[in-house]
């Protein structure tokens, strides 16, 4: 068997789906419930029943009430009899620990390495960083602080790192008023040599770029034009340079400049790539700028307008690893995670919660993320398999809708016919591989094709 044939072996996908099916295995879930203290004595509402109804209820209803969760439980297991106060009482600190434990277990499910789509092999991982946030009831401000003002005083933010190559996630749940560029959002402890980190300007911190470079990893970021840049003179002295001088020489093809950025008393060398935008794009940017400044009763400076005429990117990669002509295309794949967030909010109502207790809010968030990560991993395994065998891409958004539609049947099988779960998921994977393909569009290149083309260039 050749490496290529092994890579697309359908049996590997079947083995992966079996791992997914075991996440909600009754015995392993009950063991986790006992280990975390959620189950301390016999009860009609077992750890397995509580977890599965809570998790699948989030997918089916979005932001269910306790009555809906109890109704779902009664529908799946008619013989069970539990009251609203009884169910409410089980949503406690032990439930939070139980759900978090199961979420950490689910997030470790790895996409088969045999299905690696071989994208930009110069990098170990291609990690896109972004965040999503949503408001909470005002009384939770002491637990999750919001920005206040016209917004709620309580909000939660979820920071995500997403590896485009392995389709794996890592995350942090934090106060909604924390800025993206704070130190704890660098995920530096999870960054490894050879990684390429792609972040938008909300994460722009020069010290973080320095830290990434010291770990022998790489960054690619849009550049903030209000940040000082330096060049070296013949005597190796650092001379401040105005970026407007560089913009005036910009062309429609990318031009590269060696610059230094200052953090504390240190300077770091980086590549600045500048690319003039088309006239239509520039005109639209100017209209947006004028509108924004007019609202403030101000007038945009000529420098602000000049900076709008080009795109700016920085990276510590070498020309061999990432040619300047590829900066814009590779950075452009950031929108993938924005589409993922859109899918999570539209299909799984990630940004909607009910209740006023900390434990209930956390259980809802963990339950939603648990379902999201399990189904996302399965979608991406199918996506990679379809790409390697057909050179077609699967739509995350459409696949998420399919999982939502079939969530009720998945729950029923888990509770009533667990021996049929794997077969059900295999059929679901087959359905997604046919019905959720992205439609081919003239002059549109999707991410996997784009990155493969860049890899071959």
- pLDDT tens-place string over residues 25-44: 999 999 999 999 999 888 88
User: In the structure, what pLDDT confidence band is assigned to residue 10 with cuts at 50, 70 and 90?
Assistant: confident
pLDDT over 70, % of the chain: 94
The pair of three-digit structure tokens given for residue 436, joined into one six-digit string = 């959720």
pLDDT of residue 1: 37
What pLDDT score does 141 carry?
A: 84
pLDDT-based confidence at residue 356 (cuts at 50, 70, 90): confident
Interatomic CA distance for residues 61 and 8, integer angstroms: 36
Closest residue by Cα to residue 207 from 141, 290, 118, 267: 267
Of 289 and 350, the structure prediction assigns the larger pLDDT to: 289
pTM over 0.85: no
Residue 240 has pLDDT above 90, yes or no: yes
Cβ-based neighbour number of residue 299 at 10 Å = 10
Longest dimension (CA), the chain: 84
CB atoms within 10 A of CB 411: 22
pLDDT tens digits along 38-84: 998 888 889 999 999 999 999 999 889 999 999 999 888 888 888 89
- Confidence band for 384, pLDDT divided at 50, 70 and 90: confident
Tell me the C-alpha to C-alpha distance, in Å, between residue 284 and each of 287, 329, 451. 5, 21, 28
How many whole angstroms separate alpha carbon 357 and alpha carbon 275? 50
pLDDT in tens, 87-131: 999 999 999 999 999 999 988 888 877 766 666 778 988 899 888
pLDDT at 452: 73
Structure tokens at 23: 């996440």
Identify the pLDDT of residue 118.
66
Whether the CB-CB separation of 355 and 64 falls below 8 Å is answered with: no
Q: With a cut of 50, say whether residue 2 has pLDDT above it.
A: no
Determine the Cα–Cα distance for residues 264 and 37; give it in Å rounded to an integer.
Answer: 47
Show the tokens assigned to 409: 């049947």
């Amino acid at each position: 068997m050749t490496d290529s044939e092994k890579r697309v072996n359908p049996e590997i996908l079947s083995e992966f789906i079996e791992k997914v099916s075991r996440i909600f295995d009754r015995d392993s879930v009950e063991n986790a419930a006992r280990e975390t203290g959620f189950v301390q004595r016999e009860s009609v509402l077992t750890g397995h029943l509580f977890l599965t109804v809570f998790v699948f209820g989030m997918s089916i209803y979005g932001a269910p009430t306790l009555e809906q969760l109890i109704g779902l439980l009664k529908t799946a297991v008619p013989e069970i009899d539990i009251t609203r106060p009884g169910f409410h009482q089980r949503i406690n600190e032990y439930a939070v620990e139980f759900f978090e434990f199961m979420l950490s277990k689910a997030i470790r499910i790895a996409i088969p390495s045999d299905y690696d789509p071989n994208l930009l092999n110069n990098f170990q991982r291609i990690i896109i960083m972004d965040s999503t946030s949503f408001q909470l009831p005002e009384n939770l401000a002491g637990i999750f602080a919001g920005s206040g003002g016209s917004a709620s005083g309580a909000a939660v933010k979820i920071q995500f790192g997403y590896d485009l190559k392995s389709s794996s996630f890592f995350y942090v749940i934090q106060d909604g008023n924390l800025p993206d560029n704070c130190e704890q959002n660098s995920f530096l402890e999870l960054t490894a040599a050879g990684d390429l980190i792609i972040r938008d300007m909300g994460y722009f911190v020069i010290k973080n770029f320095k830290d990434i470079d010291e770990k022998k990893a790489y960054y690619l970021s849009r550049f903030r034009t209000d940040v000082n840049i330096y060049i070296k003179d013949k005597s190796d002295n650092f001379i401040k340079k105005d970026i407007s001088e560089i913009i005036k020489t910009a062309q429609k093809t990318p031009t590269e400049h060696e610059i230094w950025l200052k953090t504390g008393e240190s300077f770091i060398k980086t590549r600045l790539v500048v690319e003039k935008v088309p006239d239509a794009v520039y005109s639209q940017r100017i209209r947006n700028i004028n509108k924004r400044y007019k609202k403030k009763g101000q007038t945009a400076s000529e420098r602000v307008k000049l900076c709008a005429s080009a795109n700016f990117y920085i990276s510590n990669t070498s020309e061999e690893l990432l040619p300047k002509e590829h900066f814009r295309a590779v950075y452009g794949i950031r929108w993938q995670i924005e589409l993922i967030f859109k899918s999570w909010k539209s299909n799984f109502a990630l940004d909607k919660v009910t209740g006023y207790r900390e434990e209930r809010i956390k259980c809802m968030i963990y339950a939603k993320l648990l379902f999201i990560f399990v189904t996302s991993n399965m979608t991406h395994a199918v996506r990679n398999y379809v790409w390697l065998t057909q050179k077609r891409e699967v739509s995350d958004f459409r696949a998420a809708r399919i999982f939502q539609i079939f969530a009720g049947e998945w729950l029923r099988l888990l509770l009533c016919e667990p021996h049929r779960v794997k077969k059900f998921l295999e059929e679901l994977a087959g359905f997604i591989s046919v019905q959720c393909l992205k439609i081919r569009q003239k002059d549109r290149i999707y991410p996997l094709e784009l990155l493969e083309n860049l890899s071959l260039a």
